[in-house]
Amino acid sequence: MQIYSEEHDIFRDTFRKFVAKEVTPFVPQWEEYRAVPRELWMKMGEYGFLCPWLPEKYGGLELGFEYSVIINEELIRGDGFGVGVPLHSDVAVPYISTYGNDAVKERWLSGCASGEVITAIGLTEPNTGSDLAAIRTRAVRDGDSYVINGQKTFITNGYFADLIVVAVKTSPEAGHRGISLILVDKETPGFSRGRKLEKMGYHMQDTAELFFEDCRVPATNLLGEENKGFKYMMEKLQRERLEVCIKCQVNAEEALREGLEYAKTREAFGRPIGNFQNTAFVLAEMATDVKLGRVFLDKLIADHIQGKDIVQEVSMAKYWLGEMVNRVAYQAVQIHGGYGYMEEYRICRIFRDVRALSIFAGTSEIMKLIVSRNLGLNPK
């Protein structure tokens, strides 16, 4: 299955060199700081690495989704897993590009491509995770404005975001048919952020709570039509979950690489530990999982690029790859023994970072629910 051409390879090589210079050396510092500096966003924008799919009139390069895949993959391979660019470029900004009115696009999209505007998407609430229909944040129309009250949590890019796509209830009595999407500028009165949340892993990513107290935004900040937000989210979740699948697969490949290299160099009882049958068989199992994942993922990427509806397959992949990467990372730590528990070893960071991947963008359990319903079943 041919996804990439020579032009893609040139782009990958260029971006890999950028990551080696501008990302990898600073990872320990960013992990400690619990955030990535805005300067990196500006540099990425300068080189066209943000929202490369945007039209040229908004500062984009009008490139295909495969370039976004390359950026996501190479950030992970260069230890930049926590850099929130894929969430910005391939999850939040597409909502603005697809559903925003002309005035909204003119105001914001160029900044999204240049790095001057960092975006986030506010879906999750303290008592609402995968069940998006149960959100409580309200937006009430008042003349030419919406007044928003509520709270969001676990928001990636939330601490430094300049613009947030916020899911709100505009018709609470209508359940999921009463959800709308509204843009909130960080300067809007009534908008505030809580602390940077302390997480098990994913440390360099700024994750925050967001608060809306009589937050008044122009009605023109509504994305698309009122009460169509759930429909819009369903339309975009295929791309969001595919983006997480990429993270799962590449992290699994990196965990396998770390485990294999260690098994070949670490000796016990006079020989490399990879030459013990049990360790060799574990690595064979890991390699098989990773190969199966890569074939599945590449097929989904190709289908997505062709515009196919792959919601069922992406749900399967999100569940399987999310569990697979955790399984492979666990085994890689086990191969390292005590050293795998040490922060100075790369596998330690990979292990704690990937735990979230079976939760992001819908848990494994929600993915199974989607798959089973599409099989004509009705699990309760």
Catalytic sites, residue numbers? 240
Query: Amino acid identity, residue 125?
Result: E
CA distances, 13 to each of 17, 74, 240, 251 (Å): 6, 9, 25, 19
Location of structure tokens 């848990």: 363
Q: State the DSSP code for 128.
A: B
Instruction: For Cα atoms 200, 204, 207, give the angle at the middle one, nearest 5 degrees.
Output: 70
HSE-CB for 135 with a 13 A CA cutoff: 31
HSE-CB for 331 with a 13 A CA cutoff: 27
Say how far apart CA 74 and CA 52 lie, in whole Å. Answer: 15
For the chain, how big is the Rg over CA atoms in Å?
A: 21
Say how far apart CA 351 and CA 334 lie, in whole Å. Answer: 11
Bridge partners of 165? Answer: 121, 183
Location of structure tokens 């952020």: 193
